């Protein structure tokens, strides 16, 4: 599907700048449906694992952690591959192949008769889900310095909207049947593939495509490519600590809240929907005016600081009603993602966006390999078992707050070392023209 670059070129717009508003609308809708499909299974996957292990929370924590690490290992290995392929053949064929693969995989997962089949399903999902780096490169392709931060904020809004509807819908469907959300996710992914096949335009014109080599698809090799961009490399180190904490939260949330407060699939789904709602409000409505007034750098620092405090709140909460309060107050942390993405995109040449985004996704995948093993299979499983000296199910969140403190320290040091005027980043107000609207 990606072997013939000339086939893709026929659909490439000859005037890419004129296609930017439409292209943004297409990729944002594609991302929304993709995240919606993933969000649907979040409240039910740990419960399905618990069913396979007879309801034992500590054992479920171990298996959920290992399954999560399997998924992320595949993302780590294949993110640079898909990123390099998108730099050579274009973004569109890579995105379409991944969407189709995810749809088929959700069906396999829905029919899984054992934990072994869940492992197989998540392995394939990790390969297909590695296309997020390509989507980020697509956004960079169709953005200008003036609207880049706004566009990445809209991406965050799509993630938020997907996680508003997805987990809530997954919780409701899970109440009907535990496997129903997987079938619905499969249908959404295949509908998304059909939509993209007929509508999604190519964003990378032929003259900007690069050659491909095995070294460019080496996950560790692409990470080393970040050394060509010193500020990006420094931000990546801070990103590793922050990402490790965030991935840990995602993996341990459902099991932890169920153990501590007795939450079922529906309650977890609705709470995760609140997380998505707040992310959509912040990233869709606050990112643009905040960065316009204070700049990308301050947005990143404030966002990571808020994330650190929210993790403390999750870890120390003694009653379920406190969690939604922490979610709402801590939602300001949503400023950091678009700000950091914009800083990175503004420092990298367009011909390298796919590789650099692939390298960053590989780093995120590395943290996603470690996070479920540390947070879920390790800390949660241990502190809810008979071996623990004290039952402390909030331990993973407290550890996450420490990681975020380290991330904040590194981030501040990097931004001091590289003054704003030398990075090429944009703090300009996004264009107000109606043609820019999505």
3-state DSSP of the chain: CCCCHHHHHCCCCCCHHHHHHHHHHHHHHHHHHHHHHHHHHCCCHHHHHHHHCCCCHHHHHHHHHHHHHHHHHHHHHHHHHHHHHHHHHCHHHHHHHHHHHHHHHHHHHHCCCCHHHHHHHHHHHHHHHHHHHHHHHHHHHCCCCCCHHHHHHHHHHHHHHHHHHHHHHHHHHHHHCCCHHHHHHHHHHHHHHHHHHHHCCCCCCHHHCCCCCCHHHCHHHHHHHHHHCHHHHHHHHHHHHHHHHHHHHHHHHHHHHHHHHCCCHHHHHHHHHHHHHHHHHHHHHHHHHHHHHHCHHHHHHHHHHHHHHHHHHHHHCCCCCHHHHHHHHHHHHHHHHHHHHHHHHCCCCHHHHHHHHHHHHHHHHHHHHHHHHHHHHHHHHHHCCCCCCCCCCCHHHHHHHHHHHHHHHHHHHHHHHCCHHHCCCCCCCCCCCHHHCC
CB 170 within 8 A of CB 181: yes
Using 50 as the pLDDT threshold, list the residues of the chain that sit under it.
1-19, 421-438
Would you say the pTM of this structure is higher than 0.85? no
Residue 84 is predicted with a pLDDT of: 78
- Polymer length in residues for the chain: 438
In whole angstroms, give the CA distance from residue 23 to residue 404: 35
Residue 226 is predicted with a pLDDT of: 76
Residue 189 is predicted with a pLDDT of: 83
15-205+219-426 belongs to CATH 1.10.10.10: no
Predicted confidence (pLDDT) per residue in 328-382, tens digit: 988 898 888 888 877 877 777 766 766 777 677 667 777 878 888 999 988 998 9
Predicted confidence (pLDDT) per residue in 34-75, tens digit: 777 777 878 888 888 888 888 787 888 888 888 888 887 887
In whole angstroms, give the CA distance from residue 65 to residue 419: 40
In whole angstroms, give the CA distance from residue 6 to residue 176: 47
Residue 120 is predicted with a pLDDT of: 86
Residue 228 is predicted with a pLDDT of: 74
């Amino acid at each position: 599907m990606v072997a013939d670059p000339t086939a893709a070129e026929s659909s490439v717009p000859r005037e890419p700048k004129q296609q930017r508003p439409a292209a943004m609308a297409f990729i944002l809708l594609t991302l929304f449906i993709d995240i919606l499909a993933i969000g649907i299974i979040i409240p039910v996957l740990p419960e399905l694992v618990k069913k396979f292990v007879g309801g034992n929370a500590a054992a479920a924590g171990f298996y959920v952690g290992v399954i999560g690490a399997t998924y992320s290992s595949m993302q780590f290995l294949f993110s640079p591959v898909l990123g390099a392929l998108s730099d050579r053949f274009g973004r569109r064929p890579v995105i379409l192949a991944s969407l189709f693969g995810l749809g088929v995989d959700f069906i396999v997962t829905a029919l899984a008769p054992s934990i072994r089949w869940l492992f197989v399903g998540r392995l394939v999902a990790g390969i297909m889900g590695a296309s997020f780096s390509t989507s980020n490169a697509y956004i960079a392709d169709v953005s200008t310095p003036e609207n880049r931060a706004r566009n990445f904020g809209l991406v965050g809004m799509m993630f938020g909207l997907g996680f508003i509807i997805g987990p809530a819908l997954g919780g409701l469907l899970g109440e009907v049947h535990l496997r129903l959300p997987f079938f619905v996710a499969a249908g959404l992914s295949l509908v998304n593939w059909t939509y993209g096949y007929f509508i999604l335009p190519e964003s990378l014109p032929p003259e900007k495509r690069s050659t491909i080599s095995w070294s460019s698809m080496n996950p560790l090799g692409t990470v080393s490519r970040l050394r060509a961009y010193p500020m990006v490399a420094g931000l990546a180190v801070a990103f590793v600590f922050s990402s490790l904490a965030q991935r840990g939260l995602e993996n341990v949330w459902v099991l932890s809240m169920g153990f501590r407060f007795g939450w079922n699939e529906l309650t977890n789904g609705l709470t995760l929907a609140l997380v998505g709602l707040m992310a959509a409000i912040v990233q869709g409505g606050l990112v643009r005016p905040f960065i316009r007034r204070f700049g990308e750098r301050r947005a990143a620092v404030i966002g990571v600081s808020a994330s650190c405090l929210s993790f403390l709140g999750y870890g120390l909460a003694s009653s379920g009603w406190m969690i939604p309060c922490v979610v709402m107050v801590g939602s300001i942390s949503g400023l950091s993602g678009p700000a950091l993405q914009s800083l990175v995109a503004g420092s990298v040449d367009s011909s390298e966006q796919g590789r650099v985004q692939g390298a960053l996704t590989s780093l995120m995948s590395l943290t996603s390999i470690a996070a479920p093993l540390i947070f879920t299979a390790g800390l949660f499983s241990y502190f809810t078992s008979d071996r623990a000296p004290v039952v402390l199910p909030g331990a993973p969140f407290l550890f996450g707050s420490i990681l975020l403190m380290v991330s904040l320290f590194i981030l501040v040091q990097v931004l001091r070392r590289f003054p704003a005027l030398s990075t090429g980043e944009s703090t300009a107000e996004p264009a107000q023209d109606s043609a820019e609207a999505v």
